[in-house]
């Protein structure tokens, strides 16, 4: 998958994208970039500003943080529910895609990579367990905001270590081409993984791949009936009606 470099980086052995992604995409009939926001088509990766793997992961971090602030700063239960769904959707997919695509490369090519990955897996497992509890709650439940705050605090601690240590070290070990290719694998993998938290599922090779395939279809079917933030501009009905008056 990667071109030969001074320090060869081999592709993830157990990543979902290694299992004939073109065939699966043809069956689904959708471009991998189409999933990025429910109901909203985004530009293909090659036309966006996100190229390097670290940029793609940081972009996900920012979207999760934005959804968090939308929930805690709103008194509208409907808006909170919409951003709760988006928050869960982003965080669940990010965690699994990192385990499938990023961790194998990090473990093989960074000094102390195995220890770094094991530490991150433990952090991910705790986040998954908290996310599982949070996704059972509804806006208005007395535990909704406290549960969210506790979950987000743990997520922030994880992000600080991830961005300052693991991602920076990994980018140093990758050529730009390798980072771009990993970025594409990471984005494609998120298309296939579950969109809800399943903390009891295996998070290590070789069983993590199979677990993701089994859980994802059910999650994606249920996503069709969930509410999502509406990114489209709101129609100004009142202004339109006023303009029609003589």
pLDDT for 165 equals 83
Q: What's the confidence (pLDDT) of residue 164?
A: 82
Give residue-wise pLDDT tens across range 208-246: 455 556 667 888 888 899 999 985 444 444 444 444 444
Q: Are 126 and 223 a contacting pair, CB within 8 Å?
A: no
Give the pLDDT confidence of 43-87 residue by residue, as tens digits.
Answer: 444 445 568 899 999 999 999 999 999 999 999 999 999 999 999
Read off the pLDDT band of 204 (50, 70, 90).
low
Give CA 163 to chain center in angstroms: 15
Sorted by where each begins, the domain ranges of the chain are: 16-229
Task: For 99-135, write each residue's pLDDT tens digit.
Answer: 999 999 998 888 888 888 888 888 888 999 999 999 9
Helix pair 144-161, 113-134: axis angle to 10 deg: 170
Residue 186's pLDDT is 92
pLDDT of 50: 63
pLDDT value, residue 155 = 94
- Confidence at residue 74, expressed as pLDDT on a 0 to 100 scale: 94
**pLDDT per position as a tens digit, 146-198:** 999 999 999 999 998 888 888 889 999 999 899 999 999 999 889 888 899 88
DSSP codes joined into one string, 37-95: BTTB----GGGSS--SHHHHHHHHHHHHHHHHHHHHT---HHHHHHHHHHHHHHHHHHH
Q: Quick one: pLDDT at residue 26?
A: 37
HEC per residue, 93-144? HHHHHHHHHHHHHHHHHCCCHHHHHHHHHHHHHHHHHHHHHHCCCCCCCCCH
Provide the pLDDT for residue 191.
87
CA-wise closest residue to 98 among 7, 214, 187: 187
pLDDT tens digits for range 13-44: 434 344 344 433 333 333 333 444 443 434 44
pLDDT at 27: 32
Which residues, at least 6 apart from 221, have a Cβ–Cβ distance to it below 8 Å? none
Distance, CA of 153 to chain centre: 18
Whole-angstrom distance, CA of residue 139 vs CA of residue 58 = 27
**Global confidence as pTM:** 0.74
The answer to whether 205 touches 121, Cβ cutoff 8 Å, is: no
């Amino acid at each position: 998958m990667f071109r030969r470099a001074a320090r060869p980086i081999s592709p993830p052995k157990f990543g979902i994208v290694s299992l004939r992604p073109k065939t699966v995409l043809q069956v689904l009939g959708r471009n991998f970039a189409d999933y990025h926001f429910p109901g909203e088509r985004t530009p293909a990766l090659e036309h966006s500003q996100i190229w390097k793997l670290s940029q793609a992961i940081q972009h996900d971090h920012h979207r999760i943080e934005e959804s968090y602030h939308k929930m805690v700063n709103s008194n509208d239960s409907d808006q909170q529910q919409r951003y709760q769904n988006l928050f869960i959707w982003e965080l669940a997919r990010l965690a699994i895609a990192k385990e499938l695509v990023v961790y194998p490369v990090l473990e093989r090519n960074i000094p102390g990579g195995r220890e770094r990955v094991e530490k991150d897996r433990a952090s991910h497992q705790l986040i998954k367990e908290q996310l599982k509890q949070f996704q059972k709650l509804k806006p208005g439940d007395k535990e909704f905001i406290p549960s969210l705050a506790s979950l987000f605090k743990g997520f922030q601690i994880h992000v600080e270590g991830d961005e300052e240590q693991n991602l920076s070290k990994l980018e140093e070990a990758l050529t730009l081409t390798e980072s771009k290719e990993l970025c594409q694998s990471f984005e494609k993998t998120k298309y296939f993984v579950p969109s809800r938290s399943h903390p009891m599922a295996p998070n290590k090779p070789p069983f993590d791949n199979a677990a993701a395939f089994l859980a994802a279809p059910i999650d994606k079917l249920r996503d069709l009936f969930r509410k999502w933030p509406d990114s489209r501009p709101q129609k100004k009905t009142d202004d339109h009606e006023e303009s029609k008056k003589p």
